[in-house]
Amino acid sequence: MEDFELLIKLNALHVNEIAETVIKQLKELGKEFCLPADDSGLGNVWEELCEQMQTEDSLYWKIYENTIKDYIVDEYEKQPDAIKYLIGYIGSVNNNEFHSDAEPTMTMQ
């Protein structure tokens, strides 16, 4: 395996772990955190976000987007320096320079 491919796979592993943690946190935010707090039948913020992605953005989308970014940054900051460096490095590489099935599904900016 080429060294760069290994870095890409390691990056994908860590980025996906961050994403899974953020999703778990959004699921833990109950319907009382949905904007507006209505009786839509959705159980948590994650379900609200999924619904909006399938239909259309709400007037509150920017608030949700900022919340997601805050959770991502928080989880990123908890990572060891080596992982933060890896994520930053792979995120800075031009996608046209490599082709791999292990490309990260989320990039940090």
Q: 37 is in which domain, residue-wise?
A: 3-97
pLDDT of amino acid 108: 44
- Give the integer Cα–Cα distance in Å for 22 and 9: 20
**Does residue 60 fall inside a structural domain?**
yes
**Does residue 104 fall inside a structural domain?**
no
pTM comes to 0.76
The answer to whether 37 touches 102, Cβ cutoff 8 Å, is no
Binned at pLDDT 50, 70 and 90, residue 102 comes out as very low
**Does residue 7 fall inside a structural domain?**
yes
**Does residue 108 fall inside a structural domain?**
no
**Does residue 72 fall inside a structural domain?**
yes
**Does residue 88 fall inside a structural domain?**
yes
Count of beta carbons in the 10 Å neighbourhood of residue 22: 22
How many domains are contained in the chain?
1
**Does residue 9 fall inside a structural domain?**
yes
Binned at pLDDT 50, 70 and 90, residue 73 comes out as very high
**Does residue 109 fall inside a structural domain?**
no
pLDDT digits (tens, 9 = 90+) for 5-51: 999 999 999 999 999 999 999 999 888 887 765 566 788 889 888 88
The answer to whether 88 touches 104, Cβ cutoff 8 Å, is no
